[in-house]
Amino acid sequence: MEEQPSLLLQRYRRDRRNLLEFLFSSGLIKELQTPAGPITALSDLDFDNLSADYVLHSIKSDGVVDISEATKKYFDESSYPVMIHSRLGNSYFLLSDPDLSGSPPRRVPPPTDVKRTADHASCSSREPDPLIVENIGASMDNFSSKYKATTGTSLSALEDVNIPPLGLPCLNTGLSDDDLRESAYEILLASLVFSGVEVHTVEDRRKEKSSKFLSGLKSRREKIHQQSQFRGRHSAIVDTIRIQMQISEAMDACIRQRLTQLAAWRMWESIDIPKISLGLLNSIFKSDFLNEKSYMQWKSRQASILEELLYFSANLEASERATIKSSLAKIRNSKEWDITMSPSERAEVLSAITQVDFKLSSLSGKFSIQGETYYWTAGYHLNIGLYEKLLFGVFDVLDEGQLIEESDELLMLNKLTWCILGITQKMHNALYGWVLFQQYVGTNEAILLEYALLELQKAVSGENADQKEELYMDSLACSRQFNGIEIKLSLVQAIFFSISSWCEDKLQDYHLHFSQKPCNFSRMMNLMSAVGILASGDSGDIKLIRLNASNESATRKLKTYVERSIRAAYRRVASTIDLESKVVRTHPLALLANELRLIAQREFSVFCPVLRDWCPESGMIAAMRLHQIYGERLKPFLEGVSSLSEDVRSVLPAAHMLDHDLTQLYISACEENRQHHDLNQDLDHYPIGEVAKPIILDWVIAQNSRILEWTGRVFDLEEWEPLSSQQRMATSIVEVFRIIEETVDQFFGLNLSMDITHLQALLSIIFHSLDAYLLKLLNQLVDKNHLYPLAPPLTRYEETVIPIMKKKVLEHKLLEDDVSKKLKELTVSKLCIRLNTLKYIQKQIGVLEDGIRKSWALIRPSAGQRWAEEDPLETSENSLLSCSEAVDELFVTTFNSIRDTATDAISKICDFTGARVVFWDLRDAFLFFLYRGNVEGARLDGVLPQIDTVLDHICGLIDDTIRDLVVFSICRASLEGYVWVLLNGGPSRAFSDSDITIMEDDLNMLKEFFIADGEGLPRSSVEQEANFAEQILSLYSIQTGTVIQMLMTASEQISTGLDSVNRDSRNHEKMGLEDAQTLMRVLCHKKDKQASRFLKRQYQLPTSSDYDDTPSEDLSLRSPLISDLLKRSSSFRWSNNGQSSFNSFKKKLIEATSDIRNVAW
């Protein structure tokens, strides 16, 4: 809590005084000089009017301090602002920071200057009289105290915090708050002194410091360290009270001294306020004050106190009242009282007043209470004001929101004034609670409200008050105006009435008053529960009634407070919403909905939990009122909605969220208030879902065409290069998912009620976008058969002795331009990027699905938001189950379809990649090199390094999760290529029995290459793929006659229709040793005369020497028709043309079957 300027000034003056006392008692000062000679006691000095800077400068220079110069310096310095010792000398300090000072203060500013009298100027030219020097401090303290009272504290600033007054009778003499505060302190001192409590004066405290200082002047080495004299706890508390009540030390010492003398003389058996004032007037004179103004103020205050209690008494006769009037006029006349009249004449005037006081004080009390005096009831309005000032002393002057540590002891001392002021225990509790309440209002310190509640609860209980005291307190009348009617209240009732009025005022707009510190709201409601709530009786009178849920009048008033506070909060927000809308460029209805949501949330979390103890329907009322207020402004807007514009995007979600929050508030209030059926009605929800459904669908449809166009554009620009070294997918797919995710975010960012139709539309966008991307990717591939070379013509082995001058040349496949162009783009590197992209799609589609599922779970379909419908539980559960199943089916259908398409594309591209590597990129190194001419000179170990190089390149590009798939496809293609060499090797390949062992070693070498000592592919998978190649090698190991016999058997199956033409050619197990296609090729490539003779006789096949089988650089030549004879499976496939050619060749085999059987080989 920031300190008020006057508090800072007070602390500064106290610290400066302590510094000077330390300097003068430390022995650092060698000599004190005054015009009248050296000073013998520190009590002769007034530290409040000495310049600390001058004293410090004197200590640094020669240790000689001139008191008159120090006083002059002090007044010179105080006349100007504090300056910075800069070269220009034009900088000074302000008491507050202009940038942080905030809005202008509400209170009247204090005076900025003090008029100096001529006495101040004469201080430097003559020896200061001890009492005059002391009174200089008193004068300054009086000024600072008045400044403090008018600006720093909230003791009398009730008008600033709008606390209704108690309605006590007005003071006829116009005594100010400062007058009451100073008089209250005098009464407290008198109570202490006349009760026998010893109090010490300022003079007593300074004698010790004086002796210590004088001993330091005699010799620094011979300092006498004396222990401080015990002053007593009561004296310390009184000093604290003096500081708290801002009484100067000089004035305090004077009052203590005079009161102590009066008590010693034992002039009165009992004391009252007039006796105290008369005693002080008789013993304090003008010479005790610094200036005439201070004296006149003090004397006028004493006269006003006497006039208030004596002159306006109803028990005086006219002559007595005239005596009082004339006597007080003499006292107020400074010239007559202080100059013209002699001491005896002044004594006569005071004696006349004393006689009137004696008469009144002798009157018995009205209620026969022990210790009761006439002034208890005659001057109760003054007594209560004085006691309030004493109670305000418990608050720390430096932190008004805190009690001082000695507050309990201060209250105990205040009890000594009860017999003078007519205070009882219940009155004390009520007044102390009232003072604590006022201080809370001024400081907003919550603990003070807690303390006030405790004191007021004690006053309500009234356990210690008997019937006489109750009658006495009821007689202390207060007058209040309520709705133009004057009502009479007792003191306690007036306190409760004022507190209840303040609480009622705050409840009219509790959202304004308790939003910053919501914890104070519950305390305020407890306070109102203790004092009661204002209500009109049956006869129209005003009364306080207990605040509880069973009291219909109290509950009805609280309902009114809820409605008024809600409307006030709305008006406050609506008043600035149009301007704010222009600043932030957002529709006013969206901003209004957000602000009302905050109000609803605050009502739900802060105020309803408190109010429902007394008004269970508060939450329902607040929800209905806010819903109604916003609905009136929303309805015209909804009628004009036709598309998803920016305004619609901002207003509909905000209105939807407000509707949801208000619904939750209403539901919660209904559940806790089931017994109140009169308010238990449904909220008429805003028709946001009906308005939003068609425009959301229109928006989704528009997004679909936009995303498809964007997908096609980014795909066409794709060059199939990796996005980065870590992210090896294509750039285009990242962009596609980005635009999809943005659309999904925008979709769910609408924050509107949606149903399964909207979800279906969104998933349709995702499906069509990714499906279009996958389709485009697959369309870039070519048929794998274009990669395979044409099978050479079937020939029989024959050793050529005479060279043939002219041989037939093998023809090669000619690719179409479009296919050739695609193949150039389908390099192994770019195929790997495509595979990585497909794998990225598989991963990302799972993330996308999870995100959409979670977002959808947060959205309640509009049909499911009818919380107020009272459908049977079983029907509701079945409906929810059916809706959930439909949503799950929609997700499964959409995303599984994309996953299946991506998986199929990965399989196709992997298969294509393996064929590309072996049958296209390594065609010369593998297919045209292996076993060409002779087996031993062209073995597989010359091919494997090139395959290994390709694998290293691929593994550096491919994603780790699909690496094995690609390697396996190359393994399978390599085994296919090996089989191609065995069966489709052409005229340049013929295998003898001795070659078979070498070829088997090569096949094992190829298998172990991909197994890689257990670090490569699984052995079982490799063995399964190599099974067909092993079967082919086993055919070469069989005797030629046996192979011929197997071919004859296979030919019979062809003739009976049991051939394998129509079976699944991809199944290796069904293309075994008895397959006619395989057997024919084996015989063509056997280096065996018997086989050659059989092929020549039965099929008239040409010899291998008739063809020039040298590899050609031109791979686009067409192959002969016979090359399409056989069609290979996944491990060995014939070309497409080979299927039709094989049908004609099959006829030849059938015709030759009968002849073959009868021939001996």
Residue 534 has pLDDT above 70, yes or no: yes
Amino acid at residue number 1016: G
Residue 531 has pLDDT above 50, yes or no: yes
Q: What is the pLDDT of residue 79?
A: 62
Helix/strand/coil for 1067: coil
Residue 355 has pLDDT above 80, yes or no: yes
Q: Which residue has the higher pLDDT, 788 or 1062?
A: 788
Where does residue 482 rank: exposed (0-12), middle (13-18), buried (19+ CB within 10 A)? middle
Q: Which residue has the higher pLDDT, 1074 or 385?
A: 385
Which backbone phi and psi does 326 adopt, to 5 degrees?
-70, -40
Q: What is the pLDDT of residue 1144?
A: 43
Both tokens of residue 770? 């990714």
Q: Which residue has the higher pLDDT, 967 or 515?
A: 967
Report the alpha-carbon distance of residue 354 to residue 348 in Å, rounded.
10
Helix (H), strand (E) counts: the chain: 45, 8
Which backbone phi and psi does 766 adopt, to 5 degrees?
-65, -45
Residue 1161 has pLDDT above 60, yes or no: no
Residues, the chain, total? 1161
Cα 1025 to chain centroid, rounded: 62
Q: What is the pLDDT of residue 436?
A: 95
Task: Give the up-direction half-sphere exposure of residue 1026: CA atoms within 13 A in the CB hemisphere.
Answer: 24
CB neighbourhood size of 1108 (10 A): 14
Both tokens of residue 846? 């799972």
User: Do residues 638 and 687 make contact, with C-beta atoms less than 8 angstroms apart?
Assistant: yes
**pLDDT tens, residue by residue, 697-709:** 999 999 998 999 9
Which backbone phi and psi does 92 adopt, to 5 degrees?
-145, 165
| Exposure string for 728-760, b = 16+ CB within 10 A, e = fewer | bbbbbbebbbebbbebbeebbebbbbbbeebbb
Helix/strand/coil for 991: strand
Q: Which residues have CB under 8 Å from 1095's CB, separation 6+?
A: 796, 1083, 1084, 1101
**pLDDT tens, residue by residue, 814-870:** 778 888 888 888 899 999 999 999 999 999 999 999 999 999 988 755 434 443 343
Task: Give the up-direction half-sphere exposure of residue 936: CA atoms within 13 A in the CB hemisphere.
Answer: 5
Question: Is 0.85 topped by the overall pTM?
Answer: no
Instruction: State the residue for tokens 């190599």.
Output: 1026
Amino acid at residue number 107: R
- Report the percent of the chain where pLDDT is more than 70: 76
CB neighbourhood size of 1001 (10 A): 13
First to last CA, the chain: 121
- List, in sequence order, every residue forming a beta bridge with 544; answer none if it has no partner: 534
Residue 131 has pLDDT above 70, yes or no: no
Both tokens of residue 178? 């400062």
- List, in sequence order, every residue forming a beta bridge with 1086; answer none if it has no partner: 991
Q: What is the pLDDT of residue 71?
A: 81
Q: What is the pLDDT of residue 153?
A: 37
Radius of gyration of the chain (CA): 56
Strands 485-489 and 478-482: antiparallel
User: Do residues 106 and 160 make contact, with C-beta atoms less than 8 angstroms apart?
Assistant: yes
Overall average pLDDT of the 240-266 stretch: 86
